[in-house]
Chains A and B, each alone.
Chain A
Amino acid sequence: MKFFDLLSMSVSNLWRRKLRTFLTVLGVVIGTASIVVMVSIGIGMNRSMMQQIDEYGGLTTINVYSGDSYYGGGMAVAVSESGSSSGSQTEPVRLNDEMLQVLSGLEHVESVTPILSVDCLAKSGKYMANLSVRGIPAELLAQMNNMEVGQGTLPMPGDKELKFFYGNTVITDFYIEKTYQYYWETGVIPEIDFMEDPMYIIFDMDAYYASQYPSGDGTVTPPPKKYMVEACGVMAGDVEYYGANSSYVFCDLELLKEQLQRVFKNKAIPGQPTTATGKPYKEIYYNQVDVKVDDMDYMKDVQTQIQNLGLSASSNAEWIESQQESSNNLQMALGGIGAVSLFVAAIGIANTMMMSIYERTKEIGIIKVLGCDMRNIRSMFLMEAGFIGFVGGTVGILLSYGISFLVNYVASGQMGMAMGTGGAAEISYIPLWMPPVAIGFAILVGMLAGFFPALRAMKLSPLAAIRNE
């Protein structure tokens, strides 16, 4: 029998019983829509979670600190200090260029980004601020997430002079020098144009405070030198948008190193480790290295390897994992609720097909006597059931898009208020693979439900069927 003939026979059989077919299809529509909507809510929540994680430092980044850091439980590996004979003195593993090489040599490590952090004071007009400056190689700055340029440019590789790139919330760190009033008290954004107004930076904060507040014995410390540092750009986003990098000032690593060495000469640079006797080391150590892993699955692995080197390492991996687990559980629960209604729809299909067989017993007998293949009879019934699934699934998907839109519309109205700019996340998200999968699934369910009725029809004895009046 030709496929098209089979199909048109099946469809005309369904068409003959419009109302019943409609009701059965309606069951599938509701079943499909409830599964799709439930799963889409699960996916939407998962996605907004991921988006959130991404905003707070990425899914595949491990933050590495020196071994003596209090971040992440690094293993203290004993390294005896050079020249020191006493074994009691241990030296933590630190982050220098050599260590960078080691880290980038690890398997599954995509890139390593050294970060040198220093605090400094900034003065502009009547304002003053305590800035957190992060030196990162300029060529890596361009590749970082959450580094959208709002004004100007990022620090460029090949720049000759130290230039600052201000995070979008840095402006709120400035206070009026005389009154100590911050933005969060006044609600007035400091009137500083980073790109135009001159900015004076004081790196030697100790010396500055010593000059401001003389100690009791009357020794007068001269104020340290101020350096004028140009701004090359400002991050995108308003002052209320808290991205992972919003509160930092960024600059090129090498230029920062040079600057610090020039400022402090032979003195210890604040924030840098010193020898037991308080002397500075020859090289400058990094405060942090961000290791980017090529796949989330290797996060734990790489993190352990790094800790085995004697370094401290922390990442979102564990938190993400637990988040994912709970979001998976949620998805399963939601999907389960939907599955129940699809199951009910499947029973509906089976019932409809069964009724249809009772009604058509004689007809089936006749076509069997006339030489219709048993397989064709089975296919005809399976097709009818599958067709119900197909139509129900298709309409169900369309309905789901409608519901999904409504849910997001209502939710964005409410969340928009509560979450400010972050409220753009969709609660219900239907990924592109969902419609074909859902329709395929509905067809499958229909055919499964129609399978036993179809077998029954196939096995009907033609004689008994014909006698049936």
Chain B
Amino acid sequence: MAGKEKRPIIETRKLYKVYSLGENRVFALNGVDLSIREGEFCSIVGTSGSGKSTLLNMLAGLEKPTKGEIVIGGSHIEKMTENQLVKFRRENVGFIFQSFNLLGTLNSVENVALPLTFRGVKKEIRNKKAEEMLKLVGLSKQMKNKPTQMSGGQQQRVGVARALVMDPKIIFADEPTGNLDSHTSAEVMELMRRVVKEQHKTLVMVTHDNHLAGFADRIFHIIDGKIVKIEERENYREE
């Protein structure tokens, strides 16, 4: 199997996250070791409160671990300062949110172009790129729409386009279809899978839905802050 030879792009070692709530200590992550390969589509599944979001946020550098190491593309992000993390995210990471998190004052093109703005890309170039991305996710007719003028599925497509526009190595998605009905969810999942495969991105997705997790190459099962099972889906959709 060729996939095994690929080098890991994300690795964690003995990752802990402990929240102290007064006397109580909550082990949101309880010693997570995982390794995600380049170009892979992984999903992290678990029940509510099992620590999925905590793990994803940590991988994306949005939260600091209590203990342990996170190595992404060779650099230890747990040691980075906030400024370095912002730069790291800007250069390597795309993010898809459950609640879309589009800026309500901007239209689709502007929303998608936003990450490029932070990179200092010229307006014409970033708008052109944003339009390309929107076409890719099938929104050629909604370029000028504000988020409130679109359906949830369309908004999340804008979210996907926004995550892709910077050409990041890794895309993190926290319950990207959590606010969508099952039919639309499947559509968005298909889209995400197609796009990351075409563009050779690494996609890490969090979900509590076993069916949606099944779109991935590998599935990490997490219970109470621990990875309990890794499911390989090498033969996905090859039937």
Q: Which residue of A lies closest to B98 (CB)?
A: A466
- Report which residue of A1, A366, A371, A466 has the largest number of chain B beta carbons within 10 angstroms of its beta carbon: A371
* B residues 49-64 in Cβ contact with A at 8 Å: 57, 60, 62-63
Instruction: Tell me if A373 counts as interface (CB < 8 A to partner B).
Output: yes
* B83 in complex: contacting residue of A362, A363, A374, CB < 8 Å: A374
Q: Is the CB of B90 within 8 A of A462?
A: no
B residues in contact with A374, CB < 8 Å: 82-83, 86
Q: Mark B99-125, 1 if CB is under 8 A from A, else 0.
A: 001010100000000110111101100
B residues in contact with A2, CB < 8 Å: 117, 120, 122
Instruction: Tell me if A410 counts as interface (CB < 8 A to partner B).
Output: no
B residues in contact with A9, CB < 8 Å: 117
* A residues 1-37 in Cβ contact with B at 8 Å: 1-2, 5, 9, 12, 16
Given contacts A363-B103, A366-B101, A376-B118, contact A371 B57 (CB under 8 A): no
* B101 in complex: contacting residue of A362, A372, A373, A463, CB < 8 Å: A362
Chain B nearest CB, measured from A9 CB (Å): 8
- Report which residue of A2, A5, A362, A370 has the largest number of chain B beta carbons within 10 angstroms of its beta carbon: A370
- Report which residue of A5, A369, A462 has the largest number of chain B beta carbons within 10 angstroms of its beta carbon: A369
Instruction: Tell me if A123 counts as interface (CB < 8 A to partner B).
Output: no
Q: Is the CB of B95 within 8 A of A369?
A: yes
* B115 in complex: contacting residue of A371, A462, A466, CB < 8 Å: A371
Q: Is the CB of B117 within 8 A of A5?
A: yes
Q: Is the CB of A369 within 8 A of B62?
A: yes
A residues in contact with B115, CB < 8 Å: 370-371
Report Cα–Cα, A2/B205, bound state, in Å.
32
A residues in contact with B82, CB < 8 Å: 374
* A residues 411-426 in Cβ contact with B at 8 Å: none
Q: Is the CB of B97 within 8 A of A466?
A: yes
B residues in contact with A16, CB < 8 Å: 105
* B86 in complex: contacting residue of A12, A362, A372, CB < 8 Å: A372
Instruction: Tell me if A94 counts as interface (CB < 8 A to partner B).
Output: no
Instruction: Tell me if A355 counts as interface (CB < 8 A to partner B).
Output: no
Q: Is the CB of B120 within 8 A of A371?
A: no
Q: Is the CB of A371 within 8 A of B119?
A: yes
Q: Is the CB of B86 within 8 A of A371?
A: yes
Report Cα–Cα, A376/B86, bound state, in Å.
11
Q: Which residue of B lies closest to A16 (CB)?
A: B105
Instruction: Tell me if B166 counts as interface (CB < 8 A to partner A).
Output: yes
B residues in contact with A372, CB < 8 Å: 86, 90, 118
Instruction: Tell me if B162 counts as interface (CB < 8 A to partner A).
Output: yes
* B residues 34-57 in Cβ contact with A at 8 Å: 57
Q: Is the CB of A368 within 8 A of B103?
A: no
A residues in contact with B62, CB < 8 Å: 369, 462-463
Given contacts A363-B103, A463-B57, contact A370 B97 (CB under 8 A): no
Report Cα–Cα, A222/B119, bound state, in Å.
108
Instruction: Tell me if A398 counts as interface (CB < 8 A to partner B).
Output: no
Report Cα–Cα, A465/B191, bound state, in Å.
28
Chain B nearest CB, measured from A177 CB (Å): 93
Given contacts A369-B89, A369-B95, A374-B83, contact A463 B119 (CB under 8 A): no
Given contacts A12-B105, A462-B62, contact A367 B118 (CB under 8 A): yes
* B residues 157-176 in Cβ contact with A at 8 Å: 162, 166
* A1 in complex: contacting residue of B87, B97, B120, B123, CB < 8 Å: B120
Q: Is the CB of A366 within 8 A of B103?
A: yes
Report Cα–Cα, A12/B83, bound state, in Å.
26
Report Cα–Cα, A462/B114, bound state, in Å.
16
B residues in contact with A376, CB < 8 Å: 118
Q: Is the CB of B89 within 8 A of A371?
A: yes
Given contacts A463-B57, A463-B63, contact A371 B103 (CB under 8 A): no
B residues in contact with A463, CB < 8 Å: 57, 62-63
Report Cα–Cα, A367/B106, bound state, in Å.
13
B residues in contact with A371, CB < 8 Å: 86-87, 89-91, 93, 115, 118-119, 166
Report Cα–Cα, A9/B123, bound state, in Å.
13
Offer 28 A-B interface pairs, CB within 8 angstroms, sorted by A: A1-B117, A2-B117, A5-B117, A5-B120, A5-B123, A12-B105, A363-B103, A366-B101, A367-B118, A368-B86, A369-B60, A369-B62, A369-B101, A370-B89, A370-B90, A370-B114, A370-B115, A370-B118, A370-B162, A371-B87, A371-B89, A371-B90, A371-B115, A371-B118, A373-B87, A373-B118, A376-B118, A466-B97
Interface residues, chain B, CB within 8 Å of chain A?
57, 60, 62-63, 82-83, 86-87, 89-91, 93, 95, 97, 101, 103, 105, 114-115, 117-120, 122-123, 162, 166
Nearest 5 CB-CB pairs, A to B? A371-B90, A372-B118, A370-B115, A371-B89, A366-B101
* Known pairs A370-B115, A371-B118, A373-B118 / 16 extra A-B pairs, C-beta < 8 Å: A1-B119, A2-B120, A366-B97, A366-B101, A367-B103, A367-B114, A369-B60, A370-B89, A370-B95, A370-B118, A371-B115, A372-B86, A373-B83, A373-B86, A374-B86, A463-B57
